[in-house]
Amino acid sequence: MKLFWISLASFLIGSIPFSYLFSKLKGHDPRKAGTGNVGATNVLIVAGPFAASLAVIGDVGKGILAILLARYFGLSDWGRALCGVAVVG
């Protein structure tokens, strides 16, 4: 049961759109400018290098947080791998 809740938490952590949030703080909507993709590369084009750097740090941090959460709660290697997939999915 612990595996279910931690993988669900990892999925929810992964759903935080840092690229969208940091570009909106700069006053731009990445969905309506540039390539239309909500990703760090489009944030670089639309909002500049500082917002794109924050977006990349946020995205990498999501993955690290999910794995650290799985390790903290003592999940097996397979459980950690599942949390890593859940945070990306």
For residue range 36-81, list pLDDT tens digits in order.
778 888 888 888 899 889 999 999 999 999 999 999 999 999 999 9
Q: Model confidence at 30, in pLDDT bands (50, 70, 90)?
A: confident
Region at 8 (left for phi over 0; alpha for psi -120 to 50; beta for the rest): alpha
Give the number of domains in the chain.
1
pLDDT given at position 81: 94
Residues 51 and 34 sit within 8 Å (Cβ to Cβ)? no
pLDDT given at position 29: 80
Neighbour-count burial of 22, counting CB atoms closer than 10 A to its CB (0-12 exposed, 13-18 middle, 19+ buried): buried
- Note down the domain range covering 20: 2-88
pLDDT given at position 89: 74
